[in-house]
Amino acid sequence: MSTHHISITVNGKTHEADVESRLLLVHFLRENLNMTGTHIGCDTTSCGACTIRLNGTPVKSCTVLAVQADGMEVKTVEGLVENGALHPIQEGFHEKHGLQCGFCTPGMMMTSSALLERNPHPTEDEIRHAISGNLCRCTGYMNIVKAVQYAADKMAEKVEA
Amino acid sequence: MIPPSFDYVAPKTLSDAVAALGGNENAKILAGGQSLIPLMRFRLAGPTLLVDLNRVESLSYIEEKNGWLRIGAMTRQSTVEFSDIINAKYSLLADTVKVLSDPVVRNRGTVGGNVANADPINDQPATMLAYGAEVVAVGPKGERVIPITSFYIDLYQSALARDEILTEVRVPASKPRTGGAYLKLERKVGDYATAAVAAQVELDASDNFVSIGIGLTNVGLTALKATAAEDFLKGKAASDENIKEAAKLAAAAAQPIADVRGSEEYKRSLVKTYTVRALRMAVQRAKGG
Amino acid sequence: MTEIHGLGSPRKRVEDARFIRGQGNYIDDMKLPGMLHLDIVRSPYAHAKIKKIHTEKALATPGVLAVIDGPTLQKYNVHNMPTLMSDTQMVLPIDTVKYQYQEVAGVLATDRYTAADGVAAVEVDYEPLPVVVDPFKALEPGATKVRDDKESNHIWHWEWGDKEKTNKDFESAEVTVKENIYIPRIHVSSIETCGCVAKWDATNAHLTLWMTTQAPHAIRTVVALITGHLGLSEEKIRVISPDLGGGFGGKVPAYPGYVIAVAASIVTGAPVKWIEDRTENLAADSFGRDYHITAELAGTKDGTLTSLRFKTIADHGYTDAAAQPSKFPAGMFHICTGSYDFKSAFVEVDGVYTNKAPGGIAYRCSFRVTEAVHAIERMTDVFAQKIGMDAAEIRMKNFIQPEAFPYTSALGWEYDSGNYPLALRKAMDMAGYEELRKEQKEKRSRGEFMGIGISSFTEIVGAGPSKHFDILGLKMFGSCEIRVHPTGKAIARFGTKSQGQGHETTYAQIIAEELGIPADHIKVEEGDTDTAPYGLGTYASRSTPVDGASAAVASRKIREKAKKIAAHLLEANEDDLEWERGRFFVKGSPDQGKTIQEIAFAAYTNHPQGMEGGLEAVSYYDPPNLTYPFGSYICVVDIDRGTGKVNIRRFIAVDDCGVRINPMIVDGQIHGGLTMGFAPAMMEEISYDENGNIHGANFMDYLLPTAVETPKWELGETVTPSPHHPIGAKAIGESATVGAPAAFVNAVVDALSHLGVTTIDIPMTPRKVWELMHKHGATLEE
């Protein structure tokens, strides 16, 4: 069968569609659902601009078929804001100038927000290691690290509160 | 970079997967997809049917059982990376997974895929050779166990029959006085190895080598086992002098091809240098350091 | 009280709001009703005749609407287009391809998947021709010609300086040094590739072109010129540059894909989208560098540099599609006397055709300045090494001294201001230079290879004064148009186009400083040619020096008028008024004043009779000179003698960009710039084999550094304002990319200098470093 009916929950909302087997998840999000916050930057699964969270786990959505996400939950950058409030990672990127052109930013935030859930107090080297699957051409990563550290502090505050 | 059209099934059981694979000559297994999907996007691979293993239950596990550490083929690399038992007792595998591709790719990539690809450029084949691993294959005729030393035949060619699925990789269960290390020259995170060396050793009470496994990545048409180096060390003292001699033999066993990453001479030199360093680390870890 | 956020404020960015929410508006995000997709068939050969293009299979694919080839475009005379260097570039070939991955045909389809299938279904019969990849061989008599319409592979010869005096000074010099330096081809690789959406409105004969362009107005004019004969007219062409995911010069040129998309839209009447994939981006659009430099310095035994002689072969690919000011085909390469007081200098550059992709401007280099700085900073070390002098000492000895500014170099540039010794001393203090040298000596005695490299660069940016600078004849003035609204808020539009530099945030700060209107109340717009004043765009670090100046000048025009209105409101004489940021007040009676907001309101409700109402101004700023940011970088490395891997232990960067508008953004630009200096120094390269097959056309082969390899930059600053710039600012966007590579190379050579090593070409990959050590018998065999 080369077309399939799929049902994917994206940022809490369930979408149904008939798609070709070969449809990449990133294209399903960008073209079928018009959610263009997730970006495409390369052909070789190298850059990570397409990173989203599949059942919570950061994956490069250009290298996952949409049919593989059938029945699963996807979280994209559009789903970071909760109840009108920015996610600490978004705040961090803004406060610490962690973005310039903004193209790698959604993928960076998806990867780093997952890192902080797994490891709430990462060292600088652990942050750099965790984001080494996401390429940035503008920032030289310095302020991205600061942004993640800011978010870590913010999330720790919330836990304490 | 769009793949050509293909059919797709996502069976829920292993036997359905075997049947689907067997039923189409041009079918391929889809595991993590982190190697296969890019190839298809470049239209360098064009299977007409993908048999997705991601819905098959019970292919993802890490457990020590009956003298083996058993890893289900669909176990994600990141699961291995963050596994307490692997970080505590299987240092060679822990080292390997940390330099395998990048952290996000590791969330999808599987151990089975990396082992089954039979691509010398992948990291885990050499590691499995060093461990003296076994793989479990399931096909229409049932299940069989293949020692890793018989598994790699040629470039992209393993002992798996076209209609067999690799379901498990297992390495001998950790015991005291064992240790391993993996050293890889990558020009950046995500690069394939210019060369890499996997070393796994067991020492006796007098610090002599009881057993040694040395695997070499990306210096041949398959991952290579440095048998002459291993044979040389067996029974000998774990001294730097012996380690260096073994490293010479490992370098001689390498069959590197000159390419953009390096000349034959450079790659051979890397094998020598990394064999020394990896054996030193493995020995130190075996001693409890 | 709303904060003003004028100059010096680390104001948070306005742009962030949409980007952190995934609401950026990049080209590939666009979806218009009825939009079609264009994909491109590309040549596998570097040089070949096209015998036949078989389109039947493609056209038989459901959803494929058309296959466009060169002969089709030729009917409308748009198969070729002029380059920004007045050479000719094929949009689609008639019968011959000149580089691997060259565009051969366009496939138009209903969606991108079908377009890809269409491309795969097109079959082309080629007859391979001999390939030219070595620019030196290309210049030999009898070499295969790359271009059928040219006499030879030699594009142009350019020279500058006093040849006779320089040769004399070399002949009589006590010490001379000479090295061949190859700076390889690299690619900007913005994470967003290039693309466009072309929308032809047949009813009104109007073309809207959304495009990844750093220079929308220039593109509009060029499109009008190319398509004028088809009935398009400049007032009916609208170019919109939306959000850009990085530019770095790579989004300056006009690429064939844009023209094919426009043609396809005109023919079909539907909007047409074209977006490159990464392979196309790396293989076919504008590269940077590819300079073969034979560099010589002359001087005295005690370390005084006196004369400089550089000869360069510039590999341009199959057509000269660089984007240099028309008088300077090698850009500002003659900044190569650098930070030092040379008595004489002579440079020559020869452009050469090869069977490679065209380009040459891009990669954050400001017009061949990176090449120039690389050469001078390397040769200064080479000279120092020859006479046994310390790298910092030779620089201090030869720096143009602070009192000498404005300083005219031996090659004719008038440097505006600088304090080179201060910056280098600061960098040395931050690094602990003297301690590092002690450590190096001690390590060397134990066989450990540690190196310290310095780069004390002078940048040249802000093109440029109309007397000397134009691109395709278009003068490179800056432009800013400001309108102040009745409620005291403002909108400002510019002829530049940010690709991440934060113009929406920083331009407002300039105006805020000048007028006292809080930056938060100033909306900044760029990129729409229908509304923005004409400008030459953003590249070569020109926005702050040129259009930032326009912002200040336009603001001051507004302030002049505001003063008149204030005088009218206060019933005072203009001469009796004083200004403090945000208000005019009567001299001696400070409580008698009017705020800029009150004045703005009066401009629409109570303006003086005889004066026009409103409060706005426009400035087309012709800079009197370029600006000269500078800095000193120090790199510390440790080399693994077993593997050739270079560990960057530390990198200290002291930058001086004059007045810093927003220190947070300045630092961000430096971080990014350093990383784009580090990457070419250590790992980036595009190369070709003897058949013209490219290596480096994807991110597995073309290596961009991750957060793991990228050093942890240590920043410092000095501030030496530009005396001619209205707010004393110089620019920062590209300094670090220009200055950094030589620091890395100098460090590695320094680590190996005791072996007799004097040079190494970038990228300094592990294999290259190992091979160099091996040649000198210095690799460590464990």
**Assigned domain for B57 exists:** no
C-beta atoms surrounding B88 within 10 Å: 10
Statement to judge: residues C617 and C640 lie in one domain: no
Statement to judge: residues B151 and B232 lie in one domain: no
Contact by Cβ (8 Å): C724, C662? no
Show residues of chain B in contact with A131, CB under 8 Å.
103
Final residue belonging to a domain, choices B144, B172, B200: B172
Asked if B41 has any chain C CB less than 8 Å from its own CB, the reply is: no
Percent of chain A predicted with pLDDT > 70 = 99
Final residue belonging to a domain, choices A53, A79, A105: A79
Show residues of chain A in contact with B60, CB under 8 Å.
none
E strands of C12-90, at which residues? Answer: 36-42, 48-54, 64-69, 80-82, 88-90
Contact by Cβ (8 Å): B129, B223? yes
Q: Given a cut of 80, is residue C321 above it in pLDDT?
A: yes
User: At A53, which amino acid appears?
Assistant: R
- When CB atoms are compared, the residue of A21, A24, A133 closest to B8 is A21
Do B276 and C645 lie within an 8 Å CB cutoff?
no
> Which residues on neighbouring strands pair with residue A134, listed in sequence order?
none
Number of domains forming the structure of chain B: 3
Statement to judge: residues B211 and B268 lie in one domain: yes
Q: Please tell me which residue, A75 or C225, carries the higher pLDDT value.
A: A75
What are the φ and ψ backbone dihedral angles of C503, each rounded to 5 degrees?
Answer: -60, -35
Query: Given pLDDT bands bounded at 50, 70 and 90, which one contains residue C227?
Result: confident
Statement to judge: residues A153 and A99 lie in one domain: yes
Statement to judge: residues A38 and A10 lie in one domain: yes
Q: Tens digits of per-residue pLDDT, C57-88?
A: 999 999 999 999 999 999 999 999 998 888 99
Q: Given a cut of 90, is residue C208 above it in pLDDT?
A: yes
Distance in angstroms (rounded) separating the CA atoms of residues C384 and C132: 38
Contact by Cβ (8 Å): C287, C360? yes
Statement to judge: residues C610 and C638 lie in one domain: no
Statement to judge: residues C454 and C483 lie in one domain: no
Q: Which of A5, A71, A4, A58 is nearest to B55 (CA)?
A: A71
- When CB atoms are compared, the residue of C112, C699, C707 closest to A132 is C707
Q: Which two tokens stand for residue C199?
A: 């929308």
> Looking at residue C227, which CATH number applies to its domain?
3.90.1170.50
Show residues of chain B in contact with C687, CB under 8 Å.
260
DSSP state of A68: G
Query: What does the pLDDT read at residue C62?
Result: 97
Distance in angstroms (rounded) separating the CA atoms of residues C559 and C584: 9
Percent of chain C predicted with pLDDT > 70 = 100
CB contacts under 8 A, C 250-279 vs B, are 277-279
Query: What does the pLDDT read at residue C344?
Result: 98
Contact by Cβ (8 Å): C618, C480? yes
**Assigned domain for C162 exists:** no
Statement to judge: residues C294 and C258 lie in one domain: no
Distance in angstroms (rounded) separating the CA atoms of residues C241 and C216: 6
User: At C532, which amino acid appears?
Assistant: A
Distance in angstroms (rounded) separating the CA atoms of residues A97 and C225: 41
> Which residues on neighbouring strands pair with residue C180, listed in sequence order?
C294
Buried b (16+ CB within 10 A) or exposed e, A103-116: bbbbbbbbbbbbbb
Q: Using DSSP, state whether C772 is helix, strand or coil.
A: helix
What are the φ and ψ backbone dihedral angles of C351, each rounded to 5 degrees?
Answer: -85, 140
Q: Which of C305, C459, C307, C306 is nearest to C396 (CA)?
A: C305
Statement to judge: residues C125 and C241 lie in one domain: yes
Q: Given a cut of 80, is residue C366 above it in pLDDT?
A: no
Domain that holds residue B83: 62-172
- When CB atoms are compared, the residue of C12, C19, C247 closest to A105 is C19
**Assigned domain for C180 exists:** no
> Looking at residue A120, which CATH number applies to its domain?
1.10.150.120
Distance in angstroms (rounded) separating the CA atoms of residues B249 and B247: 5
List, as one string, the DSSP characters of C254-280.
Answer: PPHHHHHHHHHHHHHSS-EEEE--HHH
Show residues of chain B in contact with C113, CB under 8 Å.
2
Mean pLDDT of C659-682: 98
Distance in angstroms (rounded) separating the CA atoms of residues C517 and C512: 5
Statement to judge: residues C589 and C682 lie in one domain: no
Q: Which of B91, B17, B94 is nearest to B55 (CA)?
A: B17
Do A21 and B7 lie within an 8 Å CB cutoff?
yes
**Assigned domain for C322 exists:** no
Distance from CA of B189 to the nearest CA of C (A): 7
What are the φ and ψ backbone dihedral angles of C367, each rounded to 5 degrees?
Answer: 65, 55
Statement to judge: residues C687 and C764 lie in one domain: yes
Query: What does the pLDDT read at residue C229?
Result: 87
List, as one string, the DSSP characters of C706-773.
Answer: -TTTS---EEEE-----SSSTT-B---TTHHHHHHHHHHHHHHHHHHGGGT----PSS--HHHHHHHH
Coarse DSSP helix, strand, coil percentages of chain A, rounded to the nearest 5 percent: 40, 20, 40
- When CB atoms are compared, the residue of A2, A63, A130 closest to B6 is A2
Q: Given a cut of 70, is residue C429 above it in pLDDT?
A: yes
Mean pLDDT of A8-12: 98
Q: Given a cut of 70, is residue C703 above it in pLDDT?
A: yes
Q: Which of C470, C529, C528 is nearest to C221 (CA)?
A: C529
CA dihedral C318, C319, C323, C328 (to 10 degrees): 110
Distance in angstroms (rounded) separating the CA atoms of residues B11 and C206: 54
Distance from CA of B245 to the nearest CA of C (A): 10
Distance in angstroms (rounded) separating the CA atoms of residues B119 and B34: 13
Do B50 and A21 lie within an 8 Å CB cutoff?
yes
Report the range of poorest mean pLDDT among C75-84, C88-97, C127-136, C686-695: C75-84
Statement to judge: residues B165 and B103 lie in one domain: yes
Final residue belonging to a domain, choices A21, A56, A79: A79
**Assigned domain for B32 exists:** yes
Final residue belonging to a domain, choices A44, A79, A114: A79
Distance in angstroms (rounded) separating the CA atoms of residues A10 and B151: 42
Distance in angstroms (rounded) separating the CA atoms of residues C117 and B242: 58
Q: How far is residue C532 from each of residues C16, C243, C527, C537, C559, measured CA to CA in Å?
A: 22, 15, 7, 11, 22
Q: Which of C241, C321, C247 is nearest to C284 (CA)?
A: C321
Asked if B192 has any chain C CB less than 8 Å from its own CB, the reply is: yes
**Assigned domain for C169 exists:** no
**Assigned domain for B1 exists:** no
Statement to judge: residues C220 and C105 lie in one domain: yes
User: At A109, which amino acid appears?
Assistant: M
Statement to judge: residues B47 and B82 lie in one domain: no
Do B41 and A1 lie within an 8 Å CB cutoff?
no
CB contacts under 8 A, A 102-131 vs C, are 102-106, 109, 124, 127-129, 131
Number of domains forming the structure of chain C: 3
Q: Given a cut of 90, is residue C457 above it in pLDDT?
A: yes
Statement to judge: residues A133 and A71 lie in one domain: no
> Residue ranges of the alpha helices (H) in C140-215?
163-171
Query: What does the pLDDT read at residue C722?
Result: 97
Helix (H) or strand (E) holding B145: strand B142-147
Helix (H) or strand (E) holding B28: strand B27-30
Q: Which two tokens stand for residue C612?
A: 């026009």
| A·B CB contacts under 8 A | 91
Q: Which of C297, C253, C269, C282 is nearest to C357 (CA)?
A: C282
Statement to judge: residues B201 and B251 lie in one domain: yes
**Assigned domain for B29 exists:** yes
Q: Tens digits of per-residue pLDDT, A114-133?
A: 999 999 999 999 999 999 99
Domain that holds residue C253: 31-129+194-275
Statement to judge: residues A68 and A93 lie in one domain: no
Q: Given a cut of 70, is residue C240 above it in pLDDT?
A: yes
Looking at chain A, which subunits does it touch, using at least 3 CB pairs closer than 8 Å as the criterion? Answer: B, C
Angle between helices B240-253 and B264-286 (to 10 degrees): 140
> Looking at residue A42, which CATH number applies to its domain?
3.10.20.30
Mutate to test the interface with A, among B104, B107, B121, B191 (most CBs of A within 10 A): B104
Establish whether this prediction's ipTM goes over 0.95.
yes
Q: Which two tokens stand for residue B202?
A: 């067991």
Q: Which of C494, C592, C558 is nearest to C215 (CA)?
A: C494
Show residues of chain B in contact with A51, CB under 8 Å.
104
Helix (H) or strand (E) holding C196: strand C195-201
Asked if A43 has any chain C CB less than 8 Å from its own CB, the reply is: yes
Show residues of chain B in contact with C765, CB under 8 Å.
187
Do B185 and C645 lie within an 8 Å CB cutoff?
yes
Report the range of poorest mean pLDDT among B109-118, C166-175, C326-335, C358-367: C358-367
Q: Given a cut of 70, is residue C283 above it in pLDDT?
A: yes
Q: Tens digits of per-residue pLDDT, C374-409?
A: 999 999 999 999 999 999 999 999 999 999 999 999
Q: Which residues of C are catalytic?
A: 214, 364-365, 734
Q: Which residues of chain B have pLDDT under 70?
A: 289
- When CB atoms are compared, the residue of B191, B273, B277 closest to C703 is B191
- When CB atoms are compared, the residue of C279, C643, C703 closest to B188 is C703
Q: Parallel, antiparallel, or unpaired for β C714-717 and C646-656?
A: parallel
Cα C237 from chain centre: 26
Distance from CA of C505 to the nearest CA of B (A): 33
Do C781 and B272 lie within an 8 Å CB cutoff?
yes
First to last CA, chain A: 52
Statement to judge: residues C218 and C120 lie in one domain: yes
- When CB atoms are compared, the residue of B247, B260, B265 closest to C782 is B247
Helix (H) or strand (E) holding C524: strand C522-526
Closest-CA residue of chain A to B7: A2
Q: Is B41 left (phi over 0), alpha (psi -120 to 50) or beta?
A: alpha
Query: What does the pLDDT read at residue C597?
Result: 98
Statement to judge: residues B196 and B133 lie in one domain: no
Distance from CA of A105 to the nearest CA of C (A): 7
Report the range of poorest mean pLDDT among A74-88, C226-240, C440-454, C567-581: C226-240
C-beta atoms surrounding C17 within 10 Å: 14
Q: Which of C390, C394, C438, C178 is nearest to C305 (CA)?
A: C394
Statement to judge: residues A65 and A14 lie in one domain: yes
Statement to judge: residues B231 and B265 lie in one domain: yes
Contact by Cβ (8 Å): C213, C252? yes
Contact by Cβ (8 Å): C478, C550? yes
Helix (H) or strand (E) holding C525: strand C522-526
Do C116 and B273 lie within an 8 Å CB cutoff?
no
Distance from CA of A101 to the nearest CA of C (A): 4
Statement to judge: residues A94 and A48 lie in one domain: no
Distance in angstroms (rounded) separating the CA atoms of residues C397 and B157: 64
Distance from CA of C707 to the nearest CA of A (A): 5
Do A99 and C20 lie within an 8 Å CB cutoff?
yes
CB contacts under 8 A, C 706-725 vs B, are 706, 708-709
Looking at chain C, which subunits does it touch, using at least 3 CB pairs closer than 8 Å as the criterion? Answer: A, B
Statement to judge: residues C399 and C439 lie in one domain: yes
Mean pLDDT of C575-590: 96
Contact by Cβ (8 Å): C416, C545? no
The dihedral built from the CA positions of residue B121, B127, B129 and B133, taken in this order, carries a sign that is negative
Do A22 and B4 lie within an 8 Å CB cutoff?
yes
> Looking at residue C670, which CATH number applies to its domain?
3.30.365.10
Mean pLDDT of C177-203: 97
Mutate to test the interface with A, among B52, B102, B121 (most CBs of A within 10 A): B102
Q: Which of A148, A155, A106 is nearest to A127 (CA)?
A: A148
| B·C CB contacts under 8 A | 71
Q: How far is residue C101 from each of residues B16, C48, C104, C125, C697, measured CA to CA in Å?
A: 43, 12, 8, 15, 10
Statement to judge: residues A126 and A93 lie in one domain: yes
Show residues of chain A in contact with C14, CB under 8 Å.
none
Residue with tokens 């049947």: B19
> Looking at residue B72, which CATH number applies to its domain?
3.30.465.10
Number of domains forming the structure of chain A: 2
Domain that holds residue A28: 3-79
Peptide bond into C406 cis (omega under 30): yes
- When CB atoms are compared, the residue of C112, C709, C779 closest to B188 is C709
Show residues of chain A in contact with B82, CB under 8 Å.
118
Distance from CA of C771 to the nearest CA of A (A): 28
Q: Which two tokens stand for residue C227?
A: 């398509």
Mean pLDDT of C13-27: 98
Asked if A57 has any chain B CB less than 8 Å from its own CB, the reply is: yes
Distance in angstroms (rounded) separating the CA atoms of residues C139 and C142: 9
Q: Tens digits of per-residue pLDDT, B28-65?
A: 999 999 999 999 999 999 999 999 999 998 899 999 99
Do B1 and C765 lie within an 8 Å CB cutoff?
no
Distance in angstroms (rounded) separating the CA atoms of residues C103 and C99: 9
**Assigned domain for C282 exists:** no
Contact by Cβ (8 Å): C549, C623? yes
Statement to judge: residues C434 and C336 lie in one domain: yes
Residue with tokens 């067991």: B202
Asked if C645 has any chain B CB less than 8 Å from its own CB, the reply is: yes
Query: What does the pLDDT read at residue B106?
Result: 98
Statement to judge: residues C47 and C123 lie in one domain: yes
